[in-house]
Amino acid sequence: MPLHDTRYQHWDGAHLGIWRRRATIARNALKGCWQNKWTRYVVSVCWTLSLTQAMVLFLIGQLLVKDSSLYDWVDQLHPQMQALVRSFVAWLEVNPKISVGVTQSLLFSVFGWPLRILTLVAIALAIPHLVTRDLGSQAITIYAAKALTRMDYILGKLGGLLGLMALTWLGPLLAAWFVGNLLGPSWHFFWHSRAALGAVLLYVGPAMVFLGLLALGISAISAQEKATVSIWIGLWLLGNSLVPIARETRAWLKYASLTFDLDQISLAIFDPVAHIRVAQENVPLVGMLLQDLPARKLAVWAHPELAGALIGLGIMLAAALFILYLRIKPE
Amino acid sequence: MSESPSHPAAERASDSDRPTPWRRALGGLWRLTWKSQLTLRPLARTAAFLLVVPILAHLTFRADQLEPYYRWTTDFYLLLLVPLFCLYGCGGLVRDDLQGHTLPFLLTRPVGRARFYLAKLACQLAWIQMLLGIEWLFLLTVGLWHRAPDAAAMSILLLGVQVLAVLAYGTLSALFGLLHSRYLVLGLLYGFIVEVGVARIPTNINSFSLSHHLQTLLARHPPLAELHDWTTEDTWLAVLVLTLAPVFLAGLGALIFTVKEYLPSEEMQR
Amino acid sequence: MTPLIQARELSRWYGIVMGLNNVSFDVPPGMTGLVGPNGAGKSTLLQIVTGQLQPSSGTLTVFQEPPWNNARILSRLGYCPESEAVPRELMPLDWLTGLGCLSGLDAAAARSRAEATLDRVRLGREHWQRRLGQYSKGMRQRVKLAQALLHDPRLLVLDEPMNGLDPLGRQEMAQILQHLASQGVSILISSHILAELEPLCPHILILNWGRVLASGGRRDIRSELKDWAEELSIRCDDPIRLARRLFEADLLRGFDCDPAEKTLEIRLRDPEAFYAQWTGLLLSSGVAVHEIRSRTQSLRQIFEKVTA
């Protein structure tokens, strides 16, 4: 007596909606990435950085609490350091609307930088799980045989990659913002830091979509994992080392560096120079310390090359989409 | 049904059953190495790689300022592209065959595992030296074409350093490939931590950075030393490290390959 | 006759998964079939035989020496792996010549041996100028067999060489193997389809779940397993009650019950014990038996049973 009816049965139940099917592809892509222990290590480092940023925000908030142990500790510092901290605290107390926003914007641009590097490493680990293995194992033909279009497949894979980047980049930043302000001495901190949060969303969100599509395009170049990972690493590192040479010779070459282009957009959105100037004006000792920053570097930061960067990224994106169009078929 | 004829009893392996001599093992692996590269795609990839740096160096050459040419040849080519090319070429020494399920064809030949590994590594290194030798010629041509004053002198030094760099980075990359299937990412992390991180910190442990020693040798050319602020101090140490490191790394790789099994089935589970 | 391969308490595990579980057997010279379903441990065993894997415990010798990292043993072995992968970018002659050099031949000899072997496996010369990536499955199997024969091995180890071949291809492959065997080459060949090996191999080794279920000549195996694998079909008025009684007496390995047909199919744990207790059990159960049938014990059925 068979325990199960193993005869063919046509499925008469309700079918999943198209977004649920895309989500399934995304979930599988993310699961594939997550099974790699190295990816898990990278994600752990990202969340450690997030925790560190939240701790820094917490400590800054504690400076405003007169009877906190941090306040007592400051009293034991060198007089010059005490003066620096007190002038910073005074600025926070007098003009929290500006000071909280400025401080958090600077912190987000500082912590965002290592998180972006780690995200690029995580993508290097994820590249084989995107399109490369599907091309190599003919799984793409199986996907194509389902009720899915090329667009559904790409959206699903992009969703998986965005999920990974949310774990390594946007998630840690948002968590740091939330936890840091939750541990702040006043609920107003949430409101005062809205500009910093807006800058994070405005920069990291589109950057994630761009990197996701670019990674998908590179992942679709070849069915060999070695080739696609190498192209990703090559594009990143070789582009980086092009920048100093391009500056002295043909300036347009530097837009071939995706990190340079992303840096320019980040500078335009976070505007760290404006924030540094505000800090210099309001906290005299901070201003003195920041005077050591090379004027050339500040000038470069003050005038991000937004148009060139957008064109550079646009060309890369177009190339990635073209590769996807050529390689992800048939429908 | 075929009943087999009277088979002789399974005699012991005799002295006539000898391992394949070094020369033939090298010959066979060399044939497999270069023959597998002579197809359209690998050839196109190699040509693109060989041409891109000389073209960029040519486009950005300025007669009044040699700095960009130096940066292309040392910073970009020798210290970045060569290590990456070695990582790509030698990292997959065993892994490529393992992932392609073709390793059993090679491992079941009468060649000891250590001998097989060293012979395969030697063939791959020779192939990379050959390709990068062509690349070096292109870069020299760009320098001579634009009449860079010291192109010939610098290029001879560059070639010597390049040969050592390929040996050192190639053997290291092959070791990465033996240790993990994600050898590219392993190499990337190594590059960030050791070559970029440690090499730039003036401590005793920067002796671990291969690029630090390459820079010491390149500093024998005064314009390069001046441009990068490199010193020729410890030149002999640099030569010693760059000569002994490949021997040590190749030996370590051979030892690992002798004791460790490499199975396609396990590779697929990663 | 000294065995070609000897395994003693051989085990091999992958982490917590057992590939081979404490097996001991001898493989005599001649043609031996290694049979078992997927996951039985066939490929693991062949990889140990060809020196690609080491035993986790126990010993395995080929020509009386352990094969791991043993070039002298490998010089007498030819191996054709299960995977159909071949270097896609190479042409067959180039590949075989390279492998021939690795087997100790000089370049010219390797080249002429490569040509002769490709002829021997009946790969048409018109295909020699194509890259292996363009070959069909059947052609790849022939080239794979050719590389194993290049250096005239005394023991040929073939891991599921019939996979992916059409019936004609299987027949041709069988002819090639028979021809090799007639020339004195010992062959160890694996398959999960017994029917493929039964006409070819006078010796059979049956593996499942990493254990040797049977080993020896076909007749020996049949007599060895006949009792062990005995299965009865009983038609009675209350098959469920009868099954319960037999199970309580610990006489069954398993059963299938069909109340509608009033039939009970049972697999005996120990036939001797079963027949000793059967009459008493039947009387005490009160079940009326209408018919008892013993299933025929062909080697194929034995295999299906022991590997089920």
Q: What is the pLDDT of residues A193-210, one digit of tens each?
A: 888 889 889 999 999 999
Which band of pLDDT confidence, cut at 50, 70 and 90, is reported for residue B3?
very low
**Looking at this protein, which amino acid is placed at residue B57?**
A
Contact B2 C182 (CB under 8 A): yes
C63: left (phi over 0), alpha (psi -120 to 50) or beta: left
Residue C69 touches chain B, beta carbons under 8 Å = yes
Contacts of C29 in chain B (CB under 8 A): 7-10
Lay out the sheet containing C57-62: strands in order across.
C17-27, C5-14, C57-62
- What domain range is B111 assigned to? 21-269
Q: Which residue ranges make up each domain of chain A?
A: 18-327
Contact C182 B110 (CB under 8 A): no
* Strand C31-35, strand C203-208: pairing: parallel
pLDDT of residue C226: 54
Q: Specify the number of domains making up chain B.
A: 1
B162 or B226, which is more confident: B162
**Looking at this protein, which amino acid is placed at residue B29?**
L
Q: How far is CA C56 from the centre of its chain?
A: 21
Q: B84 in a domain, yes or no?
A: yes
pLDDT of residue C277: 86
**Looking at this protein, which amino acid is placed at residue B164?**
L
pLDDT of residue B173: 97
Q: B13 in a domain, yes or no?
A: no
Contacts of B39 in chain C (CB under 8 A): 89, 131
pLDDT of residue C223: 63
Q: C107-120 and B22-37 are packed helices; what angle lies between their axes, rounded to 10 degrees?
A: 60
Query: What whole-number distance in Å separates Cα of residue A254 and Cα of residue B167?
Result: 31
Q: In chain B, positions 124-163, which contact chain C (CB-CB < 8 Å)? A: none
* CB atoms closer than 10 angstroms to residue C273: 13
Q: B222 in a domain, yes or no?
A: yes
CB A221 within 8 A of CB A327: yes
Per-residue pLDDT tens over the stretch B99-144: 888 999 999 999 999 999 999 999 999 999 999 999 999 999 988 8
Q: What is the mean pLDDT of residues B179-206?
A: 82
The alpha-carbon gap from A34 to the nearest alpha carbon of chain B, in Å, equals: 12
Contacts of C131 in chain B (CB under 8 A): 39
Which band of pLDDT confidence, cut at 50, 70 and 90, is reported for residue A292?
low
Give the range among A60-74, A238-252, C69-83 with minimum mean pLDDT. Answer: A60-74
Contacts of B110 in chain C (CB under 8 A): 71-72, 74-75, 102-104, 151
Contact B13 C73 (CB under 8 A): yes
pLDDT of residue A51: 94
pTM: 0.79
Q: What is the mean pLDDT of residues A49-65?
A: 84
CB C151 within 8 A of CB C113: yes
Query: What whole-number distance in Å separates Cα of residue B218 and Cα of residue B232?
Result: 8
Q: What is the mean pLDDT of residues A57-80?
A: 73
CB C11 within 8 A of CB C60: no
Say whether C207 sits in a helix, a strand or coil. strand
Angle at alpha carbon of residue A184, lines to A182 and A190, rounded to 5°: 65
* CB atoms closer than 10 angstroms to residue A55: 14
Residue A251 touches chain B, beta carbons under 8 Å = no
Structure-token pair, residue B169: 């980075």
Q: What is the DSSP letter of C192?
A: S
Query: What whole-number distance in Å separates Cα of residue C3 and Cα of residue B6?
Result: 14
Contacts of C88 in chain A (CB under 8 A): none
- Residue C6 phi/psi, 5-degree rounding, is -130, 125
Beta strands in C28-142 (DSSP E): 31-35, 57-62, 77-80
Nearest CB partner across the interface for A248, out of B67, B80, B96: B67
Q: C299-306 and C218-228 are packed helices; what angle lies between their axes, rounded to 10 degrees?
A: 50
Which residues share a beta bridge with C32? C188, C203
B140 or B150, which is more confident: B140
Given a contact as 3+ CB pairs under 8 Å, which chains touch A? B, C
Contacts of C258 in chain A (CB under 8 A): 1
Residue of B nearest to A249 (CA): B60
Provide the Cα torsion C64, C66, C67, C68; round to 10°: -170
Residue with tokens 């009877």: A67
Which residues share a beta bridge with A195? none
Query: What whole-number distance in Å separates Cα of residue C255 and Cα of residue C16?
Result: 30
Runs of H (alpha helix) within B38-182: 40-59, 67-70, 82-99, 103-107, 113-145, 151-179
Q: C167-182 and C137-149 are packed helices; what angle lies between their axes, rounded to 10 degrees?
A: 10
Query: What whole-number distance in Å separates Cα of residue C8 and Cα of residue C22?
Result: 8
Choose among C81, C83, C86: nearest CA to C130. Answer: C86
pLDDT of residue B4: 42
Say whether C155 sits in a helix, a strand or coil. strand
Say whether C291 sits in a helix, a strand or coil. strand
Q: What is the overall mean pLDDT for chain A?
A: 83
Contacts of C257 in chain A (CB under 8 A): 1
Residue B258 has pLDDT above 60, yes or no: yes
Nearest CB partner across the interface for B76, out of A38, A245, A250: A245
Residue C178 touches chain B, beta carbons under 8 Å = yes
* CB atoms closer than 10 angstroms to residue C264: 26
Which band of pLDDT confidence, cut at 50, 70 and 90, is reported for residue B265?
low
* CB atoms closer than 10 angstroms to residue A50: 22
* Contacts across the A-B interface (CB distance below 8 Å): 60
Given a contact as 3+ CB pairs under 8 Å, which chains touch C? A, B
Q: In chain C, positions 111-140, which contact chain B (CB-CB < 8 Å)? A: 131
Residue B260 touches chain C, beta carbons under 8 Å = no
Mutation pick from C102, C141, C149 vs chain B, by most beta carbons of B within 10 Å, is: C102
Residue B104: asked if its preceding bond is cis (omega within 30°), the reply is no
Structure-token pair, residue B46: 């190699």
Local confidence pLDDT in tens for the 308 residues of chain C: 688 999 999 999 888 888 898 999 999 999 999 988 888 899 999 999 999 999 999 999 999 999 999 999 999 999 999 888 899 889 999 999 999 999 999 999 999 999 999 998 888 889 999 999 999 888 998 999 999 999 889 999 999 888 777 778 888 888 889 988 998 899 999 988 776 787 788 898 988 888 888 888 876 776 665 555 567 888 888 898 898 888 888 888 888 888 888 889 888 877 768 878 888 888 888 888 888 776 645 555 556 655 55
B26 or B147, which is more confident: B26
Provide the Cα torsion C119, C161, C164, C21; round to 10°: -170
Residue A1 touches chain C, beta carbons under 8 Å = yes
Q: B122 in a domain, yes or no?
A: yes
Choose among A290, A46, A50: nearest CA to A168. Answer: A46
Runs of H (alpha helix) within chain A: 18-34, 37-62, 69-75, 79-94, 96-127, 133-136, 139-144, 150-165, 171-182, 188-192, 194-219, 225-248, 258-270, 272-282, 284-290, 295-302, 306-327
Which band of pLDDT confidence, cut at 50, 70 and 90, is reported for residue B167?
very high
The contacts of residue B250 (CB under 8 Å, 6+ apart) are B118, B121, B171, B174
Residue B63 touches chain A, beta carbons under 8 Å = no
Structure-token pair, residue C55: 């035993």
Which band of pLDDT confidence, cut at 50, 70 and 90, is reported for residue A1?
very low
Query: What whole-number distance in Å separates Cα of residue C50 and Cα of residue C5?
Result: 11
Provide the Cα torsion A171, A175, A177, A179; round to 10°: 180
Contact B100 C182 (CB under 8 A): no
pLDDT of residue C170: 82
Residue A224 has pLDDT above 80, yes or no: yes
Q: In chain C, positions 17-36, which contact chain B (CB-CB < 8 Å)? A: 28-31
Contact B67 A234 (CB under 8 A): no
Give the HSE-up count for residue A208: Cα atoms under 13 Å, Cβ half-sphere.
25
The alpha-carbon gap from A38 to the nearest alpha carbon of chain B, in Å, equals: 9
Q: Which helix (H) or strand (E) holds B244?
A: helix B235-259
Q: What is the overall mean pLDDT for chain B?
A: 86
Q: In chain B, positions 98-117, which contact chain C (CB-CB < 8 Å)? A: 100-102, 104-113
* Strand C17-27, strand C5-14: pairing: antiparallel
**Looking at this protein, which amino acid is placed at residue A134?**
D
A64 or B10, which is more confident: A64
To the nearest whole percent, how much of chain B has pLDDT over 70? 91
Query: What whole-number distance in Å separates Cα of residue A31 and Cα of residue C306?
Result: 38
* CB atoms closer than 10 angstroms to residue A238: 17
Query: What whole-number distance in Å separates Cα of residue A296 and Cα of residue A298?
Result: 5
* Strand C155-159, strand C31-35: pairing: unpaired
Contacts of C100 in chain B (CB under 8 A): 28
C156 or A140, which is more confident: C156
C289 or A322, which is more confident: A322
Residue of C nearest to B32 (CA): C98
Residue A330 has pLDDT above 80, yes or no: no
Query: What whole-number distance in Å separates Cα of residue B178 and Cα of residue B87?
Result: 12
Which band of pLDDT confidence, cut at 50, 70 and 90, is reported for residue A150?
confident
Q: What is the DSSP letter of C160?
A: S
**Looking at this protein, which amino acid is placed at residue C15?**
G
Mutation pick from A37, A42, A226, A242 vs chain B, by most beta carbons of B within 10 Å, is: A226
Contact C2 B104 (CB under 8 A): no
**How deeply is B111 buried, as exposed, middle or buried, from its count of CB atoms within 10 A (0-12, 13-18, 19+)?**
buried
Query: What whole-number distance in Å separates Cα of residue B248 and Cα of residue B167?
Result: 11
Q: What is the mean pLDDT of residues B58-84?
A: 84
Interface predicted TM-score of the whole assembly (ipTM), two decimals: 0.85
Angle at alpha carbon of residue C117, lines to C116 and C121, rounded to 5°: 120
Per-residue pLDDT tens over the stretch B12-33: 555 557 788 899 999 999 999 9
Q: A96-127 and A150-165 are packed helices; what angle lies between their axes, rounded to 10 degrees?
A: 120
Q: Which helix (H) or strand (E) holds B31?
A: helix B22-37
Which band of pLDDT confidence, cut at 50, 70 and 90, is reported for residue B269?
very low
Residue with tokens 């192939």: B127
